[in-house]
Structure 1
Amino acid sequence: MKVVTIATDLEHPFLRRLLVPSCDAMGLNLVVIQANKKGFRPRDKLAILTDHLARCAPDELVMFTDAYDTLFIRGEEYIRKVHASFSHRVVFSAEPNSWPLGNLGLALQKDPPVRPYPYLNSGGFIGLAGDILALCAKYPEPPSEQFPLLRHLRTHDYDTDKLFRFSDQYYWTLVHLLESDTVGLDNGAVLFENFAPAVANFCELTRWTSDFRARGKQAASYRREHARLQARLQSPSGAAQVHFAASLTKAVVLDLLDEGQLPSWLVGVLRQ
């Protein structure tokens, strides 16, 4: 089994201080693929990952993780056991927010939401290399044409491909909806847990980030997220990967690390 991540900045503090040391501590084989920083977009991860998977054995278990906001607190034995318990061959992390489609993403859902994490998050997923590669080959582009609602919106000049093509999460959300027998979500956070805040309107996160960039630690959004995350982290995660997906959340985690305020269940793995 290998853990794969894609990074344009090998000196990013979260990658260098949290993800890499946590994988070392858990005995995980982390493969860091360096991508060209110039013009890199999240959707480019798909092509880079496809190229890597094509050189893997089809039956090799591969766990993808984002580079700049994740770390691991459990090792391969746990990951293999839990992955085998799923009925789906490929399992994605899940989150409380429908991003990037927002309310439109809710309209595409075929079934009621499964709490506490109803919606796909592409910052972590696991499956055999051959299974993931087969999905990439079957859907070389976001399969938006297979959704009547998205086709209808396109006739009114609302083209979701143009709006959201930058995001690999858009791509994988559509693939999951079409391939629900193969692609499952970790709705209960047994493999992947997302610590980003739940929001009614995803634009709130953009406003919070702008507030933080303008005012730093004095921003109301920063103080609110600092307090929320400290309270949330009092309860240890039962997952293998923990994900601080929002940019403000990630900034708070790095500050808590510098302040010596991260809980022992997180930083303890870095000292093993």
Structure 2
Amino acid sequence: MKVITIATDPEHPFLRRLLAPSCEAVGLELVVLTADQKGFRPRDKRACLTDHLTRHVAPDELVVFTDAYDTMFLRGEEYLRSAYAAFSQPVVFSAESNSWPLGSVGLALHRDPPVRPYPYLNSGGFIGPAGDILALCARYPTPPSERFPLLDQLRTHGFDADRLYGPSDQYYWTLVRLLEPDTVGLDNGAVLFENFAPAVTNFCELSRWSSDFRARGRQAPSYRREYARLRTRLQTPSGAAQVHFASSLTKAVVLDLLDEGQLPSWLTEVLPQ
């Protein structure tokens, strides 16, 4: 088993101080694929990953993909294999409480009722045999939006999901998962991956919070609100193997809590002292 991530900045503090040391502590082999930062888009992760899997990984080898700048691991290979074996699908993705990036449109694409607490795909963590991941990427070289009548209808009204969200890897995998439910599963119960991003009902909120934080830094109301929310949330330990602090605001709070010595022991016990 390998854990693979893609980084345009190998010295990013989250990668260097949290992801890499946590993988080492729980005995996971972390492979960091470096990419040129100039012009890099989230969808480029797919090309980088498929190239590496094709050239360096056997089709039957189990791989875990993880985001580089906002994740860390709490449990190792034995736990990952055991939890993964409980799923019927060969490829299993992390899940989250928000339908991102499609927002309300994404809700309408899901025909089945949401499975709580994490109903929607998150592409910041997934696991599966290299061959199955490569087969999905080959079957869908681009986001398969043409397979969704709603997206075609919206396109005639000027709402082009491919134009708006095409650079998003999460957009791509969300559509693929909806078309391939027997192949792609979701970790709705957070046994493999747990996402600690804030749940929102208005999908514009996260963008406003990020803009507020960029403009005002740690004096921003959004930062103070997220700091308080996350400290409360982290009082309950995660049972997953990977935890994901998605959103620029959330990961900034985590790094500050680390610097302040305020991260709970269930997170810091896997980090070097």
TM-score, normalised via structure 1 length: 0.99
Shift of 1:271: 3.0
CA distance in 2, matches of 1:60, 1:271: 29
- Write the letter of the residue equivalent to 1:224: R
Q: Are 1:51 and 2:51 an aligned pair? A: yes
- Does the residue aligned with 1:266 lie in a helix, a strand or coil? helix
CA distance in 2, matches of 1:210, 1:161: 24
Q: Find the counterpart in structure 2 of residue 18 from structure 1.
A: 18
- Write the letter of the residue equivalent to 2:51: D
Q: Find the counterpart in structure 2 of residue 197 from structure 1.
A: 198
Q: Find the counterpart in structure 1 of residue 272 from structure 2.
A: 271
Q: Find the counterpart in structure 1 of residue 263 from structure 2.
A: 262
TM-score, normalised via structure 2 length: 0.98
Shift of 1:256: 0.1
CA distance in 2, matches of 1:38, 1:193: 30
- Does the residue aligned with 1:142 lie in a helix, a strand or coil? coil
- Write the letter of the residue equivalent to 1:209: S
Percent of residue pairs identical? 79
Q: Find the counterpart in structure 2 of residue 170 from structure 1.
A: 171
Superposition map of 1:1-272 within 5 A: 1-55=1-55, 56-271=57-272
- Does the residue aligned with 1:120 lie in a helix, a strand or coil? strand
CA distance in 1, matches of 2:145, 2:215: 37
CA distance in 2, matches of 1:211, 1:205: 10
CA distance in 2, matches of 1:137, 1:215: 44
Count, aligned residues: 272
Unaligned runs of 5+ in 1: none
CA distance in 2, matches of 1:158, 1:8: 31
- Does the residue aligned with 1:271 lie in a helix, a strand or coil? coil
Shift of 1:156: 1.9
- Does the residue aligned with 1:54 lie in a helix, a strand or coil? helix
Q: Bigger shift: 45-54 or 211-220?
A: 211-220
Shift of 1:27: 0.6
Deviations 1:113-136, CA, capped at 9 Å, x for gaps: 000000000000000000000000
Unaligned runs of 5+ in 2: none
RMSD: 0.8
